Amino acid sequence: MSENPTSPDPRSYASGSLPTNRLRALAEAERPQERALRHGVGSLGDAELLALLLRSGTRGHDVLSLAARLLADAGSLHALTRWREAEFCRLKGIGRVKALQLCTVMEIARRILGADRSATPELCDPDETYSYLRARAFGLDVEKCWVLSLNIRNRLIRCTELTSGTAAQTLVNNTEVLREVVREGANAFIIAHNHPSGDPAPSSADLKITRRLKEASAPLDLRFVDHLILGEPSIDPLGLGYYSFRASGVIG
């Protein structure tokens, strides 16, 4: 498929060859908003889509050039989903309001990616659980913990974000976990948390939490299926992208 000839190439911006007022050089009918109105937003390139979100540029750099610079700095639209307000604000022409708008769009994209493909997926092994949760954990710069309440057949009843911590840790309380599982009328449960570094190797605190939760759930006749640590396959020495306490033998 040929590239859209009117879409700016972020690489040309990075090399300094992209005009700083590209929008002025385009015929009115070929500008992003006019093209979107005539052909739909699906016809636009990545920089043009960003330009519609940004709406205006800054002195010396029109909105299309600013959008191209964003892509050049991030590397791709996909990479922008990891950006936070401070990173957007580093670019001249993007203030806190625009940064907040962009962060909102990226958060919506993340939530759509993490939306349940099935209302009641069956989570019988670590691969399935990781596949279900990976989009939720993608790009997070803080640790979060999720509780997945399951029925007797290991089908998901509900996935609840229980806690959100710092870049280094999230605090998990046994009582809160079990209260959530009982509230949902579940027979079993999985807990999962992410490591923002991408390395899912467990810490001593992770191991301690797992053992305590195993002990606390037994008297309530709740089956503790697994505790998963979510990371990235490219950073995980084993290439899995996750660590399973069940697979490691901690949860029998």
CA–CA distance, 90 with 99 (Å, rounded to integer)? 10
Give domain limits for the chain: 10-112, 126-244
Which residues of the chain fall below pLDDT 70? 1-30, 57-61, 113-119, 166-171
Task: Give the model confidence (pLDDT) of 165-221 as tens digits.
Answer: 755 556 678 999 999 999 999 999 999 999 999 999 999 999 999 999 999 999 999
Task: Give the model confidence (pLDDT) of 130-147 as tens digits.
Answer: 999 988 888 788 899 999
CB neighbour class for 146 (10 Å; exposed up to 12, middle 13-18, buried from 19): buried
| Fold annotation for 126-244 | Cytidine Deaminase; domain 2 (3.40.140)
- To the nearest 10°, report the CA torsion of 174, 176, 177, 183: 140
pLDDT value at residue 212: 94
- CATH number of the domain located at residue range(s) 10-112 in this protein: 1.10.150
pLDDT value at residue 40: 83
pTM higher than 0.85, yes or no? no
pLDDT value at residue 235: 92
Closest C-alpha among 176, 181, 179, 192 to residue 230: 192
Burial 45-69 (b: 16+ CB within 10 A, else e): bbbbbbbbebeebbeebbbbbbbbb
pLDDT value at residue 17: 43
